[in-house]
Amino acid sequence: KQEVTQIPAALSVPEGENLVLNCSFTDSAIYNLQWFRQDPGKGLTSLLLIQSSQREQTSGRLNASLDKSSGRSTLYIAASQPGDSATYLCAVYNNNDMRFGAGTRLTVKP
């Protein structure tokens, strides 16, 4: 059974800092991995999608990497801003089954 773990559960940083969020999964047989952002009281917004054959994806200040063999992914946020404050979730997909981590709640202080 696929299990997805995100560490840390919560993170507070000053504005401008670079930071890394971690995601690990137990079964390397995945089709893709996605990083989502969730704002309070809202649904999820997809940030980056990495296919199993890819090593990383970039969008603006965000960079996500994938090491399928070790069951790990990282989300790197450069020059963090208060508007980045949200919960970030990773999810792995395979065979019509998507498994989510519990998320990392990020607070960026002005």
Tell me the Cα Rg of the chain.
13
Among 91, 104, 106, 108, interactor with other proteins by CB under 8 A: 91
Strands 19-25 and 32-38: unpaired
When the beta carbons of 30 and 77 are compared against other proteins, the nearer one is 30
Report in angstroms how near the CB of residue 78 gets to other proteins at its nearest: 21
Of 24, 32, 63, 74, the residue at the interface with other proteins (CB under 8 A) is 32
- In the set 20, 78, 79, 102, which binds other proteins (CB under 8 A)? 102
- Residue 109: strand pairing partners: 14
Residue 62 in contact with other proteins, rule: CB under 8 A:
no
CB nearer to other proteins: pick between 41 and 110: 41
How near is the Cβ of 47 to other proteins at its closest, in Å? 9
**In the complex, what is the shortest distance from the CB of residue 41 to other proteins, in angstroms, rounded to a whole number?**
7
Amino acid letter for position 35: W
Contacts of 27 (CB under 8 A, 6+ apart): 1, 2, 71, 92, 94
DSSP β-ladder status, 97-100 and 10-14:
unpaired
